[in-house]
Amino acid sequence: MSKIIAVCGSPESGKTTASLKLAQELYYQKKGSVIFLSPDMCVPSMAFIFPHSKTSDLYSIGKALDKTDIYQEDILKQLVPVKTMRDFGFFGYTAGENKYSYPRPTEDKITALFRVMKEIADYVIIDCVSDMDDLITRMAINRSDNVIQMVAPDLKSIAYYASQAEMYENIVERGIKALCIRDRDIYLPIEEVKSHFKDISFVLPYSRPLKQQVITGTLSERLSDIHYRKQVAAIAKRVI
């Protein structure tokens, strides 16, 4: 049975990199089909996941959602493939697109989107945005099989979860907390943050190779960092 997994958290908490690496790990572990969806319009994912690709080679989720009805071919046409992963597709907005580029999708349209993606792929990983005004994000958190809550060891992350407490109270049974250590977090009070959130299940260590992928625009490639991948593999095992 297909699964939808939502990855959410405060701004700059490592959501995109973690959700992308989780999607890749699920692909390699299960050898099934995977869709990675990023509905972020403020920072369109296609712009930094594929910075070296031609604009003509990138497609947009906006065009699929702009259809009166959504069918499998509408989504398949907009998936951005990777040569090394046969049944893996990226789905998001492209550089230059923003919230004014397309009409705001309705709940019925997003319900249809989720249904069709589950028909196509074994796993749908949704890289949620931090703004709960985003309808795709809200529906993904409410309807996903698992919600991975990314936590950063800073006050911003603590404040985010405090302000969104009501939303996350409803997904306790499906929620999985993961602490992400970034380069600027090395000297922050990591243990204190873990104590504050109490039920953190996984810790994603700072990864220099992952940082290099971000800098060089090679996030679509599999990560070489064994220590980081070990933690992501453990998360993948949990959601499987």
Which residue has 């795709």 as its token pair?
136
Question: How many residues are present in the chain?
Answer: 240
> Reduced to 3 states, what is the DSSP secondary structure of residue 112?
helix
pLDDT at 184 over 80: no
Confidence tier at 145 by pLDDT (50, 70, 90): very high
For 23, other C-beta atoms within 10 Å of its C-beta total 27
- For residues 140-159, one letter each, b for 16 or more C-beta atoms within 10 angstroms of the residue's C-beta and e for the rest, the string is bbeebebbbbbbbbbeebbe
Q: What pLDDT is stored for residue 187 in this prediction?
A: 67
Domain at 221, CATH number: 3.40.50.300
For 233, other C-beta atoms within 10 Å of its C-beta total 17
pLDDT at 74 over 70: yes
Quote the number of domains for the chain: 1
Q: What is the residue-averaged pLDDT of the chain?
A: 90
Model confidence pLDDT, tens digit, residues 105-127:
999 999 999 999 999 999 999 99
Model confidence pLDDT, tens digit, residues 8-62:
998 888 999 999 999 999 999 877 899 999 999 888 988 889 998 888 888 999 9
pTM score: 0.93
For 240, other C-beta atoms within 10 Å of its C-beta total 14
Residue 139 lies in domain = 3-239
